[in-house]
Amino acid sequence: MKILSFDIEISDVFELTPGEDMEKYAPFHISVAATAIDGGEERLWFSEDAEGTPALNLTKQGAQEMLDYLAQQQDEGVMICAWNGLSFDLKWIGHQAQNMEMAAQIALQSYDPMFQFFNQKGYPVGLAKVGAGMGIGQEKLMNGADAPIEWRAGKFDRVKEYVMGDCQMTNLIVRAIQEAGEVRWLTSKGTVSRESMPHLKTAQEVITDPGPDQSWMDTPLPKTKFYQWVQDLNLVAAESNAGKSEDAGSEDLGPLFQ
């Protein structure tokens, strides 16, 4: 199946304290987004002002065009993927387009390996850590928190390269997971851990799968946090009874789990 990965960057600038939930600073606004078909078309999504300079935010029309593009690709059988795309990217594309229902429909049929990993282990893992563990040979080009600052400073090309790079990384990681039948990630101790993942599932499938065992955690992240916005639209079924997950927690997670 053909793979298309997508990613967004926001224009909102704020500082998070350790353990703080970034949702307190919502709603967020998209500065630039990217889509990349593995071995095929790569597109950047941003708006311009009257002088042709990239605008601070993607317009409503631009966000809707991106949703239309993703839906078309999905209808053609393309595997639409994003790292934490269910919880973050599609939620805010839908918000920007003022079309949450269409974003949610795309989200439910999308593939989010990070959400699937969370549902097996009970905690999320960052894109960079998985990239290192899978040995894909491509790294993130900046810290995600710096992207809004760089965009506002007029360093548009740098942010464009960064968001496209994350799409390319996601494509490589998805392909590597498919080939290996597992996820490997670099821990804070510098060792590589692994989790079996024989096949990738749609977000809808993961939502209805049993949830992880988080009984060993003091402050577990609720599974519903990833898809509450979709559930609020009455588009998802409830998950099954909780399943079990073994070993210990995630490290080095940014606010977007990247």
In sequence order, what are the beta bridge partners of 27? none
User: In this predicted structure, what is the pLDDT of residue 247?
Assistant: 39
pLDDT of amino acid 255: 38
- Confidence (pLDDT) at 39: 96
Q: Please report the pLDDT score of residue 54 as a whole number.
A: 98
- Give the model confidence (pLDDT) of 173-206 as tens digits: 999 999 999 999 999 999 999 999 999 999 999 9
**Residue 240's pLDDT is what?**
52
Model pLDDT, residue 237 = 62
Q: What is the Cα–Cα distance from 225 to 114, expressed in whole angstroms?
A: 13
Domain positions in the chain are 3-231
Structure confidence at residue 238 (pLDDT): 60
What letters, b where the CB count within 10 A reaches 16 and e where it falls short, cover 163-183?
bbbbbbbbbbbbbbbbeeeeb
List the end-to-end C-alpha distance of the chain, in Å, as a whole number: 25
3-class DSSP assignment, residue 31: strand
**pTM (predicted TM-score):** 0.91
> What residues in the chain have per-residue pLDDT under 70?
237-258
CA distance 113 to 106: 15
Q: Which amino acid is at 87?
A: S
Per-residue pLDDT, 234: 86
Class of domain 3-231: alpha beta
Quick one: which of 171, 257, 244 has its CA closest to 211? 244
For residue 151, give the H/E element and its range.
helix 147-152
Q: What is the pLDDT of residue 244?
A: 36
In one-letter notation, the amino acid at residue 10 is I
Q: Report the distance separating Cα 10 and Cα 216, nearest Å.
A: 34
